[in-house]
C-alpha cells in the first residue's frame, strides 16, 4: 500500500495533489505537511497533517519514519519572482529543503518526486520547441535552483539508487489555490479579474509567449510518471511537459468567447518581464509522451471554460 508524504501541501500544486492522491490511495495514506497549519475547513485537513519546515532535516526524517511513508513528493519551494527578491533565502530553502527530502528518501528507501520548471532554461536556450536535453544557463536564482535540483536528483538516482522522478512544469493554471510569487501568475489572475471586474491589467507584455498547462493535467502527469514502470524510463527527472504556448492577448481572446466585453491592458513589471523573456517561448514534450504516456487534455479554450465556470461558482456570480 502506498504511504505518501507531501511537503508544501498547502501550495498551488500541493493543495490539488493532496486531494487527488487521497482520492486514489485513501485519505489516511497521504500525509500533508506544510510550514503552517491551514485554516480550519481546508481540504488539506481532511487527512493526516503535520507542520513541517523543510529546512528542519531532523523533523522531516522523524515524520517520514513515524508515518511509515514509502513515497515523498517534495513540493515546497519559493517561486521565481519571490526568489529574485530574496536570492540567498531562496537558495537555502529551495536547495536545503530538497537535499533534506532526498536524504529522507535515501534513508527510508522511498520513491521520490519533485518538480522542475521551464525556469531551468535561460536566454541562450533554443527558444522554440525547446528540447528536453539542451543548454541550461538560467539567469534567475529560481532557475539555478531548478537546474541544480535536476542534477541533484539524478545524482541520488545514480549514486544511491533512489527512485527519483520529476518533470519541468510550465506555468500552471488553477482556480482552487491561487499561486504566489510566480512569473506566470498573470495567467491565473486574469481569470479571477475577468469574473470579478471584467478587466485585467497584465504585468507581462503582449507577445510574451510562455508554456502553460491546466492544473488537472499537471496532477495527472505527476501520477502517471510516478506509476510508470521504472524500466520504461530512459530519463529520470526533468521531463518537459506542457499543453500550450500562449501570451496575454491569446488568453484575453479566449476569455472574450465567454465574456465578450472583457478588457485587457498592460502595466509591465520589468523584473517579471525580464524573467519571462529569459524562458522559452515553447518547449517540446515528446520525450514525456514517448517514455510514459504524458497526454494533456485541456487546451486554451477548454481551460478558459473550466476556469471561468469554477470561479463564477466560487464568487456566486
Ligand atoms: C513561476 N509558476 O512562475 C512558476 C513556474 C514556469 C513557471 O515555475 O515561477
Q: Please name the residue whose Cα sits nearest to atom 1 of ligand 1.
A: 182
How is domain 174-212+244-279+297-315 classified at the CATH fold level?
A: UDP-galactose 4-epimerase; domain 1 (3.90.25)
Please check whether residue 156 is in contact with residue 145, taking contact to mean a CB–CB distance below 8 angstroms: no
Query: Is the Cβ atom of 145 under 6 angstroms away from ligand 1?
Result: no
Domain range summary for the chain, segments of one domain joined by +:
4-170+213-240, 174-212+244-279+297-315
Q: Please name the residue whose Cα sits nearest to atom 5 of ligand 1.
A: 171
- Which ligand 1 atom is the nearest neighbour of the CA of 183? 3
On whether the 4-170+213-240 domain is CATH 3.40.50.720, my answer is yes
- Rounded to an integer, what distance in angstroms lies between the CA atom of residue 296 and that of residue 4? 24
Ligand 1 centre to CA of 172 (Å) is: 7
25 is catalytic: no
Ligand 1 centre to CA of 80 (Å) is: 6
List, as one string, the DSSP characters of 160-185: H---EE-EEE-EEE-SSS---S-STT
Report the mean per-residue pLDDT for the chain: 97
Please check whether residue 228 is in contact with residue 289, taking contact to mean a CB–CB distance below 8 angstroms: no
Predicted confidence at residue 256, as pLDDT, reads 98
Ligand 1 centre to CA of 253 (Å) is: 23
Task: For 62-78, write each residue's pLDDT tens digit.
Answer: 999 999 999 999 999 99
Q: Please name the residue whose Cα sits nearest to atom 7 of ligand 1.
A: 171
Query: Is the Cβ atom of 119 under 6 angstroms away from ligand 1?
Result: yes
Query: Is the Cβ atom of 80 under 6 angstroms away from ligand 1?
Result: yes
Task: For 230-286, write each residue's pLDDT tens digit.
Answer: 999 999 989 999 999 999 999 999 999 999 999 999 999 999 999 999 999 999 999
Ligand 1 centre to CA of 114 (Å) is: 14
* Predicted TM-score of the model (pTM): 0.96
- Which ligand 1 atom is the nearest neighbour of the CA of 210? 6
Residue-wise pLDDT tens for the chain (317 aa)?
A: 699 999 999 999 999 999 999 999 999 999 999 999 999 999 999 999 999 999 999 999 999 999 999 999 999 999 999 999 999 999 999 999 999 999 999 999 999 999 999 999 999 999 999 999 999 999 999 999 999 999 999 999 999 999 999 999 999 999 998 878 899 999 999 999 999 999 999 999 999 999 999 999 999 999 999 999 999 999 998 999 999 999 999 999 999 999 999 999 999 999 999 999 999 999 999 999 999 999 999 999 999 999 999 999 998 86
Ligand 1 centre to CA of 182 (Å) is: 5
Catalytic entry in 25, 142, 155, 156: 142
Query: Is the Cβ atom of 184 under 6 angstroms away from ligand 1?
Result: yes
- Rounded to an integer, what distance in angstroms lies between the CA atom of residue 249 and that of residue 99? 40
Q: Please name the residue whose Cα sits nearest to atom 8 of ligand 1.
A: 117
Predicted confidence at residue 276, as pLDDT, reads 97
List, as one string, the DSSP characters of the chain: ---EEEESTTSHHHHHHHHHHHHHH-GGGEEEEESSPPPTT-GGGGS-EEE--TT-HHHHHHHHHHHT-SEEEE-----HHHHHHSHHHHHHHHHHHHHHHHHHHHHTT-EEE--EEGGG--TTS-SSSB-SSS-----SHHHHHHHHHHHHHHHHHHHH---EE-EEE-EEE-SSS---S-STTHHHHHHHHHHHHSEEEESS-TT--EEEEEHHHHHHHHHHHHHS-GGG-S--S-EE--SEEE-HHHHHHHHHTTSTT-EEEE---HHHHHHHHTS-S-B--HHHHHHH-------HHHHHHHHHHHHHHHTT-
Please check whether residue 311 is in contact with residue 175, taking contact to mean a CB–CB distance below 8 angstroms: yes
Predicted confidence at residue 179, as pLDDT, reads 76
Amino acid at each position: 500500500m502506498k504511504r505518501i508524504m507531501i511537503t508544501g501541501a498547502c501550495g498551488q500544486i500541493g493543495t490539488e495533489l493532496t486531494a487527488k492522491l487521497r482520492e486514489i490511495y485513501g485519505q489516511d495514506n497521504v500525509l500533508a505537511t506544510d510550514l503552517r497549519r491551514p485554516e480550519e475547513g481546508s481540504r488539506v485537513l481532511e487527512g493526516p497533517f503535520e507542520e513541517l519546515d523543510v529546512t528542519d532535516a531532523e523533523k522531516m526524517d522523524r515524520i517520514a519514519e513515524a508515518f511509515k511513508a514509502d513515497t515523498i513528493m517534495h513540493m515546497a519551494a519559493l517561486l521565481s519572482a519571490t526568489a529574485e527578491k530574496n536570492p540567498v533565502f531562496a537558495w537555502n530553502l529551495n536547495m536545503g529543503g530538497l537535499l533534506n527530502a532526498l536524504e529522507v528518501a535515501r534513508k527510508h528507501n522511498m520513491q521520490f518526486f519533485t518538480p522542475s520548471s521551464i525556469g531551468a532554461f535561460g536566454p541562450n536556450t533554443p527558444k522554440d520547441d525547446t528540447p528536453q536535453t539542451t543548454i541550461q544557463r538560467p539567469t534567475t536564482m529560481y532557475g539555478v535552483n531548478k537546474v541544480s535540483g535536476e542534477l541533484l536528483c539524478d545524482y541520488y538516482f545514480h549514486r544511491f539508487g533512489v527512485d527519483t522522478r520529476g518533470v519541468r512544469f510550465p506555468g500552471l493554471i488553477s482556480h482552487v489555490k491561487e499561486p504566489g510569487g510566480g512569473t506566470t501568475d498573470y495567467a491565473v489572475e486574469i481569470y479571477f479579474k475577468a469574473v470579478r471586474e471584467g478587466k485585467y491589467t497584465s504585468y507581462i507584455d503582449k507577445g510574451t509567449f510562455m508554456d502553460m498547462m491546466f492544473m488537472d493535467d499537471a496532477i495527472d502527469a505527476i501520477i502517471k510518471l510516478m506509476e510508470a514502470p521504472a524500466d520504461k524510463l530512459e530519463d529520470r527527472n526533468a521531463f518537459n511537459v506542457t499543453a500550450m504556448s500562449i501570451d496575454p492577448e491569446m488568453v484575453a481572446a479566449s476569455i472574450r468567447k465567454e465574456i465578450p466585453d472583457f478588457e485587457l491592458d498592460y502595466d509591465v513589471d520589468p523584473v517579471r518581464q525580464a524573467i519571462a523573456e529569459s524562458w522559452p517561448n515553447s518547449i517540446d514534450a515528446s520525450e514525456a509522451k514517448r517514455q510514459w504516456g504524458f497526454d494533456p487534455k485541456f487546451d486554451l479554450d477548454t481551460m478558459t471554460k473550466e476556469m471561468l465556470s469554477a470561479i463564477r461558482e466560487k464568487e456566486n456570480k
